[in-house]
């Protein structure tokens, strides 16, 4: 089954084509195009919904066209080339939420129009589950990986921090999440306090390489709580107090604070996820969302799994597939191909698990 996937929930306009064979446990990525209006938003230090939506309108058709044109199938697999052949697409998958309403509508309405014109079934996809399913994507140079269930997913994006238990592809359950700010939001807000470019996450990761450990310590919110909730707003407040106290920061102080903040966030995420994984006898941990691109987070998970000799395998998508893309939307649809009538597809900014 070949699926054209469309994702426009925020500032990225993305289209991808994936292939999924029913008996196989992975999704093959055939083409993946992402256009971003991020540089426009970095000037304002955050996403301006109206600008994001206008850019979606500008990019949506060229991005879909390019995804179809770029699509190549491995000759070794014996499947013929797909390039430009709309007839070979079996279904269209589209992100229906959560996200910014103006941005979502561009993708949803485009997908509906194409589904109607091309007479293709249309599959609505929850963006959050898409981030988790990025773990099942395989490019032609990668060996397929086997993800054993039960799997515990840590979804860490700009707006969400959630723990989701997957017993199988049909049974997913939310078991915890943030009570206030998401981890990505904490990175972004601290980035702003430190005068770093938006988005804060990658900027903090970069400057923290020059940071000296131990110069600052920030709280690890809810680290010891017995539940699977997170809270990151206090961390941002603590950084804000420190910055006010110090006055104008020099480059070394910025790097030292960045390193300490990253350490706090990573420690809370890793410890709580591992605790949840052990409680639910998870055999796999799946990372997803923009913050999952953070190398310190990945390394810390590996280290703790090794140190405690846990029988849990860690999976994380390649870094470019952690941030928003359409391939992950196709991956979810590949495992859960449940089309609905195009007339019933609507954008839902508040969609959750
Ligand atoms: O998943 P995503 O691309 O968009 C949403 O669906 O929200 O996540 C964006 C978030 C931002 O908060 C950004 O600062 C964070 O992911 N992020 C990172 C890194 N790359 C992106 N956070 C920490 N380290 C990174 N390398
Ligand atoms: Zn996202």
Per-residue pLDDT at 77: 47
CA triple 307-308-314, angle to 5 deg: 85
186-225 tens-digit pLDDT: 999 999 999 999 999 999 999 999 999 999 999 998 988 8
Q: Which domains does the chain have, with CATH numbers?
A: 2-143+321-344 (3.30.420.40), 151-282 (3.30.420.40)
Residue bearing the CA closest to ligand 1, atom 14: 201
Q: What is the DSSP string of 19-83?
A: E--TT-SSEEEEEEEEEE-HHHHHTTTS--HHHHHHHHHHHHHHHHHHHHHT----GGGTPPP-T
Distance 55 CA to ligand 2 centre (A): 17
Residue ranges of the alpha helices (H) in the chain? 38-42, 49-69, 101-118, 127-133, 183-193, 200-208, 233-246, 251-279, 295-307, 327-335
Per-residue pLDDT at 75: 47
**How many whole angstroms separate alpha carbon 185 and alpha carbon 93?**
28
Is residue 112 very low, low, confident or very high in pLDDT (cuts 50, 70, 90)?
A: very high
- 73 vs 230: which has the higher pLDDT: 230
Residue 350 CB neighbours (<10 A): 8
> 315: Cβ below 6 Å to ligand 1?
no
Q: Are 329 and 76 in contact (CB under 8 A)?
A: no
Nearest-atom index, ligand 1, CA of 160: 7
Which ligand is nearest the CA of 328, by number? 2
> 187: Cβ below 6 Å to ligand 1?
yes
Q: What is the pTM of this model?
A: 0.94
Per-residue pLDDT at 43: 72
258-317 tens-digit pLDDT: 999 999 999 999 999 999 999 999 999 999 999 999 999 999 999 999 999 999 999 999
Q: Answer yes or no: is pLDDT of 342 > 90.
A: yes
What lies within 8 Å, CB to CB, of 68 at 6+ separation is 4, 15, 17, 31, 82, 83, 84, 86, 89
Distance 115 CA to ligand 1 centre (A): 31
Is residue 72 very low, low, confident or very high in pLDDT (cuts 50, 70, 90)?
A: low
Residue 265 CB neighbours (<10 A): 29
Q: Answer yes or no: is pLDDT of 39 > 50.
A: yes
Which ligand is nearest the CA of 182, by number? 1
Which ligand is nearest the CA of 288, by number? 1
Partners of 161 in the β-ladder? 156
Q: What percent of the chain has pLDDT over 70?
A: 95
Look over the chain and give the mean of its residue pLDDT values, rounded to a whole number: 93
- Dihedral in degrees, nearest 10, Cα atoms 329, 335, 337, 342: -10
Test site for ligand 1: of 52, 134, 156, 158, most ligand atoms within 8 A of the Cβ: 158
- Residue 113 DSSP label: H
122-164 tens-digit pLDDT: 999 999 999 999 999 998 778 888 999 999 999 999 999 999 9
């Amino acid at each position: 089954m070949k699926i054209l996937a469309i994702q426009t929930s925020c500032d990225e306009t993305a289209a991808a084509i994936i292939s999924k064979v029913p008996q196989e446990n992975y999704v093959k990525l055939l083409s993946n195009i992402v256009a971003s209006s991020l540089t426009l938003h970095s000037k304002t230090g955050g996403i301006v919904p109206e600008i994001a939506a206008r850019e979606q309108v500008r990019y949506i058709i060229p991005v879909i066209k390019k995804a179809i044109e770029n699509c190549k199938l491995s000759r070794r697999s014996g499947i013929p080339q797909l390039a430009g052949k709309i007839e070979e697409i079996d279904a269209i998958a589209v992100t229906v939420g959560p996200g910014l309403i103006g941005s979502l509508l561009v993708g949803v309405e485009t997908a509906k129009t194409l589904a109607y014109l091309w007479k293709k079934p249309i599959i609505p996809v929850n963006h959050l589950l898409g981030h988790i399913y990025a773990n099942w994507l395989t490019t032609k140079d990668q060996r397929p990986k086997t993800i054993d269930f039960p799997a515990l997913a840590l979804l860490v994006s700009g707006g969400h921090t959630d723990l989701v238990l997957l017993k199988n592809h049909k049974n997913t359950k939310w078991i915890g999440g943030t009570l206030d700010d998401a981890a990505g939001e904490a990175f972004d807000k601290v980035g702003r306090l430190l005068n770093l470019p938006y988005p804060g996450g990658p900027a903090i990761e970069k400057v923290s390489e020059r940071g000296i450990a131990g110069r600052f310590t920030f709280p690890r919110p809810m680290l010891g709580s017995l539940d699977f909730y997170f809270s990151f707003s206090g961390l941002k407040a603590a950084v804000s107090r420190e910055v006010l106290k110090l006055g104008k920061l020099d480059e070394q102080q910025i790097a030292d604070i960045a390193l300490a903040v990253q350490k706090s966030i990573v420690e809370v995420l890793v410890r709580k996820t591992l605790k949840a994984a052990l409680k639910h006898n998870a055999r796999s941990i799946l990372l997803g969302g923009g913050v999952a691109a953070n190398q310190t987070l990945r390394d810390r998970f590996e280290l703790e799994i090794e140190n405690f000799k846990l029988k849990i395998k860690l999976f994380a998508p390649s870094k470019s597939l952690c941030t928003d893309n359409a391939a992950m939307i196709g991956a979810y649809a590949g495992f859960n191909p449940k089309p609905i009538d195009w007339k019933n597809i609507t954008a839902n900014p508040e969609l959750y698990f």
